[in-house]
Amino acid sequence: MLSSIDAAMKRSKAYAHLRNCNLCPRLCGVNRYETTGHCLVGDKAKVNVIAPHFGEEPCIQGHNGSGAVFFSGCNLRCVFCQNHDIAHQRNGQDLTPEELGEWYLKLQDVGGVHNINLVTPEHVVPQVALSILHARDLGLRLPIVYNTSSFDSLESLELMDGLVDIYLPDFKVWEKATSKRLLKADDYASTARGSIKAMHAQVGDLCFTPDGIAKKGVLVRHLVMPGKQEEGRRIMQFLAEEVSRDCFVNIMEQYHPDAHVGKPRRRLGGKAAGSDVSAETLRYGDINRAVSDQEVTSRPSAAEAVGLWRFCDPPKHDGFNI
């Protein structure tokens, strides 16, 4: 637990960052009390959904669900975003840090969830830090899950140190050219590497309660994408060699074309191509398909080859895989 002095220092830093926002790698530097930067979110966090959630890993959702807080907005622009309606349409309600913290208490006391799961918080780190501190003052006892794309700055992770129990980072792609084209952030991979190492330095490998619920540590997600086997292999190698061979990994196979993928290219004048367009005129045609069985099976094999062994496989029993 943080001392009262450490908590006060975190509050002071959070307010300062809102006045000169450089906490994510976009380094916008705006005063979020007056305007917005790349994420288009001001001093209040915009929240799309707050509810018990049963769509996470078994060790995160457990028996009673994970207390999910889905933030609107994002500091990435993934062309294949699987949550495009939440991340980029800015739907939801503006909440102060105090209001947000009080929702955590409702999830704990009324929802009976296992944890507070902050989904896509990278662009609202000051507000999140303040909300956690407020909720703890009110009696929050649940673990905090920081559910992130890994496009986090080391400064933001330093602010979250001591506030987060479980880090749930994605590691999407490895190559700079891929991240520039598909995520609109050419420094994504280098940022993710530094972020995941910093997360692991804070909380270590994932550990569990006796009934298999995650209580502290890092769980890395990797979404298998069409044609990205070599990038996936490099990611697995990085986790094994530079993070930990005991790193807990969820290799996900639910990719499907979404958001801008497979949409007709726009012609001069702003008009989209008609319904008779060929595959060559569709946007991001190389990832406009489901992943193959071979692509799905190659990723765990690559992970095992470099020494990783803790995977989030679908449970073959009524309990939880740990």
Annotated binding-site residue? 78: yes
Q: Which of 281, 245, 283 is nearest to 262 (CA)?
A: 283
SS3 content of the chain, % helix, strand, coil (to 5): 35, 20, 45
3-class DSSP state for residue 248?
strand
The amino acid occupying position 317 is: H
User: To which H or E segment does residue 266 belong?
Assistant: none
Instruction: Tell me whether residue 247 is annotated as binding.
Output: no
Amino acid residing at 285: G
**Which residues is 53 bridged to in the sheet?**
66
Nearest-angstrom CA–CA distance, 67 and 22: 28
d(CA 121, CA 124): 5
CA-CA distance, 200 to 25, in Å (whole number)? 19
Is residue 263 within 8 A of residue 283, CB to CB? The reply is: yes
**DSSP label at residue 183:** T
59 is in an annotated binding site: no
What's the length of the chain? Answer: 322
List Cβ neighbours of 253 (8 Å cut-off, separation of 6 or more). Answer: 224, 291, 296
Binding residues for [4Fe-4S] cluster: 74, 78, 81
Binding residues: 74, 78, 81
